[in-house]
Structure 1
Amino acid sequence: MFDKAWNPAPEILFSHSANDLIDNAGHVSVIVTNYNYEEYITECLDSILNQTHKALSLVVIDDDSRKDSSVEKILEWMEENKDRFFSIKLLKNIINQGPSASRNTAIQHCPSDTIFIMDADNTIMTTAIAKLHDCLQRSDAQGVYCQIVEFGDRNQIGSADLWDVERMYRNNYVDIMAMMKKSAWAQVGGFSHIEEGWEDYDFWLKFIDQGIDMVFLPEILCRYRVHGVSRTAIEAHKSHYDLEIIMKYRHPGQPKVEEYK
């Protein structure tokens, strides 16, 4: 389903697993995508290292970075901190694949049934994984997301709110920094590449198409960095009209709201 001729297998630059067994019910894999984020990657990884949730694995995928030394930084960090994680791995695309294919590849390599996704320029609060996992366990939903705070070139609270099908079809207000069951990701066919962006929005609309429910944890647990090369700064309004048409074409069926109540 996810193997494509133009999506070659990544190189495995680092891999380490603990010898002791782990309870998979509490096991969470954090997926980090990196592309020339040498300036931010250590802060991102440190925020994962300092999580209060103990049963963690980490999969970092580099999307063929060539403009900086972020891969070397990640390798050094992993060697120093590998014993914190049940499993830790660094993958590297041999050609640039974009965020959607990179995330799909990384998720295929994660060893747990529950995953959390983030980009290498963002960070999470120390209790983020623990609180999101607890919320997911106590709900009937397949995924959980929280409120975010933007920092860097723009400082403000995010726009996350209760999961509402009608509102989501009008615009996206759920960041990809979310925890979900790996089975839900597989059910929707993973992430799809969308030219000019909006892959995250398309991913959530596929959840709605499949009747997969998400739950909102109204607490600031994730930090989204806005900077000159972030996707928000570059593509927030770029090709907006064309992307709206693409979304309507990809998701033509307005869901029956009563099905989600």
Structure 2
Amino acid sequence: MSITAPWMATGQTAFTFRSRRKKPLDLVSVCVTNFNYGDYITDALDAIAAQTHAPLDLIVVDDHSDRDDSVALITAWMEENHQRFWRCTLIVHTRNQGPSAARNTAFRHAMGAFVFVIDADNTIYPRAIARLHEAARDGGFDATYCQLEYFDREQRIGSADIWDPAQMTRENYVDVMALIRRQAWADVDGYSHIDQGWEDYDFWLKFIDHGFEAGYVPEILCRYRMHGNSRTTNDAWAAHESLRGIMAFRHPELTARYLLATPDVKA
């Protein structure tokens, strides 16, 4: 299966800037996906601009926002802040196709060996990318992730933990906010669209299918916004059991190895 296909949404470049400097060896691409998050997008972009890791390749993909002025807001922000980045690009989908397609668009345009993924309604602390990149480089991981802080309507700490394929098969505890080796994304054929959500869980299970390993950085570096408009709130939780069945169908070997082979434990 190819990660590019004729039915995929095409994108138009609404803004682009590229430095004349040679591409840094430690360049990290940042993938920001947006769909009608004009109320939050500048917070996410400001947090990215404040990163202590200097060489950044910023790619924002707007998935055809139709209820706010997201594109105008992002364009204005990039015009004011593009000098902060080695490259700064806004791509606008000509039709809405969901978060998986938006992330795949960003990865296809990424120029860094690693790509940090973040949705437009979330934010990160200033040293997030630096710490995740350091861990990926020093540990030889195909991806790195951290602990989350939930904020806005709900304040609490996330449930991220050490990478364990068996536990990951039972439940997802790794958010989409992570640093991913671009080649690993290509090897697993990118993100797959799944109705009602769990594309990130499916992506991590494909990681395990291919024998890739992710490293856990036990620090609170990323902030997940809890609000009533998130896709997780509206879709994924309502279809929880159905999505579990979809995951089992899409990853039968993992299901057989870690779930069906596990005897029932009775109290």
**Paired letter, 1:18:** S
Q: Does 2:228 align with 1:228? A: yes
**Paired letter, 1:161:** D
- Following superposition, the deviation at residue 229 of structure 1 comes to 0.4
What is the aligned-residue RMSD (CA, Å)? 1.1
Distance across 2 between alignment mates of 1:2 and 1:202: 15
Counterpart of 2:19? 18
Residue ranges of structure 2 left out of the alignment (5+ in a row): 259-267
Structure 2 counterpart SS, 1:46? helix
Q: Please give the per-residue CA displacement for 1:103-155, whole angstroms capped at 9, x wherever unaligned.
A: 00111011111100000000000000111111111102111000010111111
Distance across 2 between alignment mates of 1:256 and 1:21: 47
Percent identical among aligned pairs is 48
**Paired letter, 1:8:** A
Residue ranges of structure 1 left out of the alignment (5+ in a row): none
Q: Please give the per-residue CA displacement for 1:185-241, whole angstroms capped at 9, x wherever unaligned.
A: 001000000011110000000000000000100000000001010123213421111
**Paired letter, 1:87:** R
Are the counterparts in 2 of residues 226 and 232 from structure 1 also a CA contact under 8 Å? no
Counterpart of 1:148? 148
Q: How does 1:72-87 map to 2 (within 5 A)?
A: 72-87=72-87
Are the counterparts in 1 of residues 197 and 232 from structure 2 also a CA contact under 8 Å? no
**Paired letter, 1:69:** D
Counterpart of 1:2? 3
**Paired letter, 2:16:** S
Distance across 1 between alignment mates of 2:158 and 2:95: 33
Q: How does 1:1-261 map to 2 (within 5 A)?
A: 1-24=2-25, 26-254=26-254
**Paired letter, 2:115:** I
Structure 2 counterpart SS, 1:151? strand
**Paired letter, 2:57:** S
Moved more, 15-24 or 45-54: 15-24
- Count of residue correspondences: 256
- Following superposition, the deviation at residue 256 of structure 1 comes to 6.0
Structure 2 counterpart SS, 1:224? strand
Are the counterparts in 2 of residues 52 and 126 from structure 1 also a CA contact under 8 Å? yes
- Following superposition, the deviation at residue 70 of structure 1 comes to 1.0
- TM-score normalized by the length of structure 2: 0.94
Structure 1 stretches of 4+ moved >3 Å: none
Distance across 2 between alignment mates of 1:22 and 1:239: 44
Q: Please give the per-residue CA displacement for 1:82-104, whole angstroms capped at 9, x wherever unaligned.
A: 11100110000000010001100
**Paired letter, 1:86:** W
